[in-house]
């Protein structure tokens, strides 16, 4: 199941103009056959037509953007996914380099339509529909169909070539990491529209390799190459050009920081539409390579429990782990492990604005999702091969020798609750990108 996911739309997405309405009929595809058999997930009117279409245009630009790719990788552009359910629509996607995550949330009060089938599916963002996003006027209605309720007559001029797409595994793995960062974010600044416009005037015009910092001086906000107290580190600042074209339309903007300075986030608030952007701290650091949940996954829950949960919850339904544990008599420690497992394979998303999880019926087979996390698999292999020697183990101190690559042994030390290892991964990353396979193996062995 570790082969990359190849999907092919039965027909291309289409765009129609009818009187004062623009109609987008998005072709969809899922690895779940039951979802593919559904002709339409949602059909209805988006109240804020102009802003919704501008956000979709920016999302399309995001998924086709690349900030640290070789020419051979640039061809692997990816379509976004849409989650339909609970009266809301969530459009999500990554930049081609996987260092930028974007999500559009169209809230209940911004939608008037039929939710025909709850689920998550890839949708075809072809050139015709992308160009049409920019044609929607403020006086027009915007109708969106995820799938098609009826058969449209397509002229030769309207036809586009059906495309076959390979979705890289790192894109799917990114879904299992971004909500970890989002759930650990803290609100740093809340800016009005005027303050946001002033801030983005200080955005550098050309790409720069050096880090910048978002600072507040008095009542003013700016981007500066100099770090100051309470500033937010902004690596790869030219990526913010993705956001800039929407700043003039926001009601407010919320800026979040991560305590480790490993990422930062923006929420563009348009009242009934929100657009969330999460940036890694470097264009060379994709979200697929993070391993923030691996430590929790050393205590595994059964695949049957994960599959059962996946059938029990509906798409976009709120996921409150404490309440679920209380109502169903589940041990809180087990619930924490279950939540980590669901997050780690992308079945949970995180709404930063409301600080809550939502369930995402992902369009990939669960066994594909559960086949990822190579560090965890390598750690289990070390344990199964009995390649760990516990030298000393007390309440406050542990020392172990762990066999690594090329028969080299690494020393794992635990002092109180802090682990260290002599391997290159730990030397380069410490524990900022999750535990190395040697520490994971020791944790599995002793727990």
Tokens of 431: 């524990």
Tokens of 62: 């995001």
Exposure on the CB side of residue 3, measured as CA atoms within 13 A: 5
Note whether 279 and 236 are within 8 A (CB). Answer: yes
- Provide the residue range defining the domain that includes 300: 296-369
Provide the whole-model pTM.
0.83
Query: 111 forms bridges with which residues in the sheet?
Result: 46
My answer on whether 199 and 324 are in the same domain is no
My answer on whether 157 and 304 are in the same domain is no
Note whether 276 and 266 are within 8 A (CB). Answer: yes
CA–CA distance, 43 with 23 (Å, rounded to integer): 10
Residue that is last in its domain, among 289, 311, 344: 289
My answer on whether 327 and 413 are in the same domain is no
Note whether 275 and 90 are within 8 A (CB). Answer: no
My answer on whether 195 and 250 are in the same domain is yes
CATH of the domain at 144: 3.70.10.10
- Digit-by-digit pLDDT tens for the chain (447 residues) are 456 777 788 888 888 888 888 889 898 888 888 888 888 999 999 999 999 999 999 999 998 888 876 555 554 557 888 999 999 999 999 988 889 999 999 999 999 999 999 888 888 888 888 888 988 888 889 999 998 765 443 343 344 444 666 777 777 778 878 888 898 899 999 999 999 999 999 998 777 888 999 999 988 999 999 999 889 999 999 999 999 989 999 999 999 998 888 899 999 999 899 999 999 988 888 776 555 555 555 555 667 777 777 778 888 888 888 888 888 888 887 887 788 778 777 788 899 998 999 998 777 776 676 666 667 778 888 888 999 999 988 888 999 999 988 788 999 999 887 889 999 888 887 766 778 889 888 988 887
CA–CA distance, 105 with 59 (Å, rounded to integer): 12
My answer on whether 8 and 128 are in the same domain is yes
Strands 232-234 and 318-319: unpaired
3-state secondary structure of 220: strand
My answer on whether 3 and 56 are in the same domain is yes
Residue that is last in its domain, among 334, 369, 404: 369
My answer on whether 59 and 173 are in the same domain is yes
My answer on whether 199 and 342 are in the same domain is no
My answer on whether 359 and 428 are in the same domain is no
Residue with structure tokens 């289990």? 380
CATH of the domain at 311: 1.10.10
Query: 17 forms bridges with which residues in the sheet?
Result: 22
H or E stretch including 172?
Answer: helix 169-183
CA–CA distance, 379 with 439 (Å, rounded to integer): 8
3-state secondary structure of 120: strand
My answer on whether 3 and 45 are in the same domain is yes
Residue that is last in its domain, among 289, 323, 342: 289
My answer on whether 245 and 334 are in the same domain is no
Whose CA is closest to 293, among 344, 219, 368?
344
Q: How many domains does the chain have?
A: 3
DSSP string, 295-350: TGGGSPPPHHHHHHHHHHSPTT-EE-HHHHHHHHT--HHHHHHHHHHHHHTT-EEE
Q: What is the DSSP letter of 406?
A: G
My answer on whether 57 and 147 are in the same domain is yes
Residue with structure tokens 């169209």? 106
């Amino acid at each position: 199941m570790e082969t990359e996911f190849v999907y092919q739309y039965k027909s291309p997405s289409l765009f129609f103009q009818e009187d004062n309405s623009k109609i987008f009929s998005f072709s969809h595809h899922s690895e779940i056959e039951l979802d593919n058999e559904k002709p339409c997930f949602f059909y209805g009117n988006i109240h804020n037509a102009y802003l919704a279409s501008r956000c979709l245009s920016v999302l399309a630009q995001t998924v086709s953007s690349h900030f640290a790719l070789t020419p051979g990788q640039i061809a692997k552009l990816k379509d976004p996914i849409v989650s339909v359910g609970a009266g809301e629509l969530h459009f999500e996607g990554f930049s081609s380099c996987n260092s930028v995550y974007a999500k559009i949330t169209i809230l209940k009060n911004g939608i008037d339509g039929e939710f025909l089938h709850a689920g998550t599916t890839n949708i075809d963002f072809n050139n015709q529909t992308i160009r049409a996003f920019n044609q929607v006027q403020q006086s027009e209605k915007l109708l969106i169909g995820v799938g098609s309720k009826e058969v449209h007559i397509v002229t030769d001029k309207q036809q586009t070539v059906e495309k076959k797409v390979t979705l890289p595994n790192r894109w799917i793995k990114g879904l299992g990491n971004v909500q970890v960062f989002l759930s650990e974010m803290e609100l740093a600044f809340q800016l009005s529209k005027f303050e946001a416009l002033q801030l983005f005037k200080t955005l550098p015009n050309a790409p720069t390799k050096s880090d910048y910092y978002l600072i507040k001086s008095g009542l003013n906000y700016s981007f500066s190459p100099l770090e100051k107290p309470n500033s937010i580190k902004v690596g790869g600042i030219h990526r913010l050009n993705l956001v800039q074209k929407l700043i003039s339309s926001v009601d407010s903007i919320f800026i979040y920081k991560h305590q480790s300075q490993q990422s930062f986030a923006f929420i563009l608030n348009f009242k009934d539409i929100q657009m969330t952007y999460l940036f890694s701290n470097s264009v060379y650091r994709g979200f697929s390579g993070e391993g923030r949940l691996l430590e929790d996954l050393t205590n595994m829950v059964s695949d049957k429990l994960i599959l059962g949960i996946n059938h029990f919850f509906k798409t976009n339904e709120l996921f409150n782990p404490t309440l679920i544990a209380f109502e169903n008599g589940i041990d809180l420690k087990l619930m924490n492990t279950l939540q980590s497992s669901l997050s780690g394979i992308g079945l949970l998303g995180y709404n930063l604005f409301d600080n809550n999880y939502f369930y995402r019926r992902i369009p990939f087979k669960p066994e594909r999702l559960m086949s990822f996390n190579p560090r965890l698999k390598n750690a289990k292999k070390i344990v199964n091969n009995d390649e760990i020697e516990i030298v000393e183990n007390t309440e406050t101190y542990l020392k172990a020798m762990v066999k690594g690559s090329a028969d080299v042994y690494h020393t794992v030390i635990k002092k109180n609750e802090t682990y260290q290892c002599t391997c290159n991964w730990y030397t380069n990353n410490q524990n900022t990108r999750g535990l190395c396979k040697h520490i994971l193996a020791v944790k599995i062995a002793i727990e």
